[in-house]
Amino acid sequence: MVDHIPMEEKIEIGDKFYTSGDDRIFPRGLLIGEVKAVTAGRLYKEITLIPTGFQSGMEEVLIVMEGVHQQVPDADPPSNR
């Protein structure tokens, strides 16, 4: 399940969810899953994903749609090499 997606967001069956890379733990662009179902909840949409790439399952995933203190970057940060 994906939590806290506002009702006005356009999410459709078959859409894909990817990692943002903002947590600096997982790289940007890893496929998390594909939307299996979208229903209207009380305050937010209720979205069910079919997970991909994680055969043993996942405990928790944070999906950032919009930055709060700054914009979500479009590219990976430069390396310090």
Do the bridges between strand 31-40 and strand 16-18 make them parallel or antiparallel, or are there none, so unpaired? antiparallel
Residues 19-46: tens digit of each pLDDT: 888 888 878 888 888 999 999 888 899 9
Q: Tell me which DSSP letter residue 22 carries.
A: T
Confidence tier at 71 by pLDDT (50, 70, 90)? low
Whether 51 contacts 32, CB under 8 Å? yes
Give the pair of three-digit tokens for residue 21.
Answer: 């890379």
Question: In this structure, what token pair is assigned to residue 43?
Answer: 């305050």
Domain locations in the chain as residue ranges? 2-51
Superfamily of domain 2-51: Rod shape-determining protein MreC, domain 2 (2.40.10.350)
Q: What is the dihedral of CA 68, 7, 23, 56, to 10 degrees?
A: 170
pLDDT in tens, 46-63: 999 988 866 666 667 676
